[in-house]
Amino acid sequence: MDSKKAKKKAWLFTQSQALFITIKLFALNKLPSYAEACSFGLLFSFLPIFMITLIVMTRILHATPELIEPLLNSILSAVPQMGRFFAPDRFMRMLSSAKIGGLFEIFIFAFAFWMSRRFLVSIFQSFKMIFHTRHERKSVYSQLMMFAVVTIIIFAFTAVVFAYILLRYVTELSVFVSLVQRFPQLDIFNHFISEFFIKYFPNILILIVVTVLYKTVPGTKPHFRSCFFTALFCTVSFWAFRIILHFFLNAKNYNVLYGMMGQVIVLLMDIFFFFTFFLFCAQYLFVRQFFDELLVGELYLLPKREESSFAGRMRRRLFLRPEFLLADQSLSVDLNPGDIVFSHGEMNDEAYYIVEGSVESSKSDGVIKYTEGDFFGEISCTLRKPHDSTAWATSRAKIIKIKGEVFRFLVEQDNDVARKTLSQYSSYFADYYGKTEMNLADYF
């Protein structure tokens, strides 16, 4: 039982650490501004994509207008704001009068891809800000990716809608109707289509599109399972938030004062908050994918016990014991008093973090004591130089080995980590090369 409680506590601490890092990066990357840009791009892109999807259904899949028109009416009943910008009866008349491969279809197809580019540019820029430390794409490849993502979204949307049309067609067959009369339990299909599918169709579509974007746009090859569950969390969170928002902010109460503008403002709020959830979850996806490296960065910048404010003490308490890294047996090391960690002149490619206990390091100018929450050995690691001291445990201790490539990557990408590392270079150069000590942090 104690083991289960310990595992549960470790899991909660790890999730809390991931959430803290996500919120921190979400603010540092200024993602709310990118959510505004994505919202603006969607307003120009959604309608053309929706129209070209209908063309694909009617022309490529040979769906009949008699089946599509009820679907449009059902969608409009679920999302009434679309009725302000889209008239299904007029669109169906235009579509039925157009010739296959005519100028109308060619124009709509080209216009949809061109206008959707604005939306995808915003998405790509947002993901570049989130994953910038891990991914760079050439401009030509990015353009091809944009068109590929639009195509995937269109056909994913078409597949979902076509599944609805197929189910509706099956339930209206005389054979199925007679079966329902004999077995009333089969009427659940009609209930599923008329109630569940139409009511939650926007959420189903959001889940599919967000999963595709999380999988294809970052370029860091996240696992499909992670993308799907992150997209599911994004969709469910936005759905719940939207219900709460509309409960307290009912636009119908203000129609007398604002008329259509009230509906439009609520729609714009929905779009902005969706992209806020979308980018926050994308940031969380990045944190989960590279959690070990980001966690090391937080550990290195952990405030000292004596220097901590209230916020610093809470942060120190949250990150002091990194259960995620301790679970890796190849990184965790238990030490007894007197055990040597490294010797003077020894070459290795590791830095060390003290989880518990204490370690001392002897140098020509004295002895330095390290306790829980401290790093040591990082200077020799980043410079790839021999250690200028000998380090040993002065009590029973547990330390974590940090691989050199991980720490050097943090120095290159995190300004705060680089600044702290540079501030410690001066004593190393003074001791190793015999030069006068200088403050390299101020110099650089």
Walking along the chain (444 residues) 10 residues at a time, the average pLDDT comes out as 69 90 92 89 71 64 55 60 61 58 65 69 86 60 67 69 66 70 67 64 82 86 92 93 80 56 75 94 94 90 77 85 85 91 87 92 82 87 84 92 86 81 68 50 44
DSSP 217: S
Q: Which residue has the tokens 């030490």?
A: 335
Q: Which two tokens stand for residue 98?
A: 């157009």
Q: Which two tokens stand for residue 434?
A: 């015999």
Helix/strand/coil percent split, the chain, to 5: 70, 10, 20
Q: Which residue has the tokens 């000292």?
A: 304
Predicted pLDDT at 441:
46
Continuous H helices in 320-439: 323-326, 378-383, 404-413, 415-423, 425-432
Determine contact, residues 156/216, Cβ cutoff 8 Å.
no
CB atoms under 10 Å from CB of 342, counted, come to 20
CA dihedral 9, 10, 16, 17 (to 10 degrees): 160
Q: How far is CA 425 from CA 268, 274, 418, in A?
A: 52, 46, 11
Q: Which two tokens stand for residue 295?
A: 């966690």
Predicted pLDDT at 419:
83
Predicted pLDDT at 234:
94
Apex 288 CA angle, 327 and 229, nearest 5: 115
Pairing mode, if any, of strands 332-335 and 375-376?
unpaired
Predicted pLDDT at 7:
75
Q: What is the pLDDT of residues 327-357, one digit of tens each?
A: 888 888 999 999 999 988 888 888 899 999 9
Predicted pLDDT at 444:
43
Predicted pLDDT at 317:
86
Q: Which residues contact 166 (CB under 8 A, 6 or more apart)?
A: none
Q: Which residues contact 380 (CB under 8 A, 6 or more apart)?
A: 348, 386, 387, 388, 428
Q: Which residue has the tokens 């959830």?
A: 277
Q: Which helix (H) or strand (E) holds 241?
A: helix 224-248
Q: Which residues contact 346 (CB under 8 A, 6 or more apart)?
A: 386, 387
Q: Which two tokens stand for residue 378?
A: 């990082």
